[in-house]
Every structure is written in C-alpha cells, then in structure tokens.
C-alpha cells in the first residue's frame, strides 16, 4: 500500500499542480518518492510478518497466525463495507476543481 501511496503522491503533483499544499519539495520530489518506494519494498517479505517474535511467548503458533490473518481481513474489508453504505453527500467530486 505504501508503494502505491507514494506513487500516487507523485502522480497527483502532476495531475493537480494548481492545488495548494502545506509544503513541497520542488527539486527532490522524484528522489524522495523513489527512496520511499525502495524503503517500503525493503520491508516487503510477507513470510516475515506472520512469524511470531521470539521474545514474546505466543503459545500456539497456529492461533497466532490465524489471529493475524483474521485481523488483516477485517482491516481490508472494513473500508469496502463503509464504501458500500456511503451517502451521496460524502462525494468529493464537487470539491475537486476541474
């Protein structure tokens, strides 16, 4: 998600250049974006995320991995449920200048 978010930040700088931002990095936006993407990709190996840490006694490894997988599913499904029941007044299309 972070890789996509950082790529979207660069794309939005070009797609909507007229939008005023809190701060900008004019000369280094590509360098910062690439460094952030590399940093995010360096932390990518998913098999490391589900292994229980050695310092914490988790008990049953299957329970730990199942709990982690269920938590990830809940976090991923919740925005979709919110989007399913959203109101029309929440639309941003009327706020974005063309």
List pLDDT tens digits, range 10-60. Answer: 788 788 888 887 777 766 667 777 777 777 777 766 666 667 777 877 788
Same domain, 53 and 96: yes
Helix axes 2-15 and 29-42, enclosed angle (nearest 10): 160
- Count structural domains, the chain: 2
Same domain, 65 and 88: yes
CA dist 75 → 14, 46, 48, 84, 86 (Å): 31, 17, 19, 15, 17
Does this model's pTM top 0.75? no
Residue ranges making up the domain that contains 80: 49-98
Same domain, 28 and 56: no
> Which has the higher per-residue pLDDT, 31 or 73?
73
Same domain, 60 and 98: yes
Q: Which pLDDT value is given to residue 49?
A: 65
> Which has the higher per-residue pLDDT, 15 or 94?
15
């Amino acid at each position: 998600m972070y890789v996509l978010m950082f790529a979207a930040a660069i794309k939005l700088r070009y797609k909507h250049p007229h939008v005023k931002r809190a701060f900008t990095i004019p000369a280094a936006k590509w360098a910062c974006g690439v460094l952030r993407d590399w940093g995010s990709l360096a932390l990518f190996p998913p098999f490391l995320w589900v292994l229980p840490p050695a310092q914490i006694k988790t008990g049953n490894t299957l329970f730990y991995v199942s709990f982690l997988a269920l938590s990830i599913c809940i976090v991923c499904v919740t925005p979709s449920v919110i989007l399913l029941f959203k109101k029309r007044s929440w639309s941003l299309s009327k706020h974005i200048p063309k």
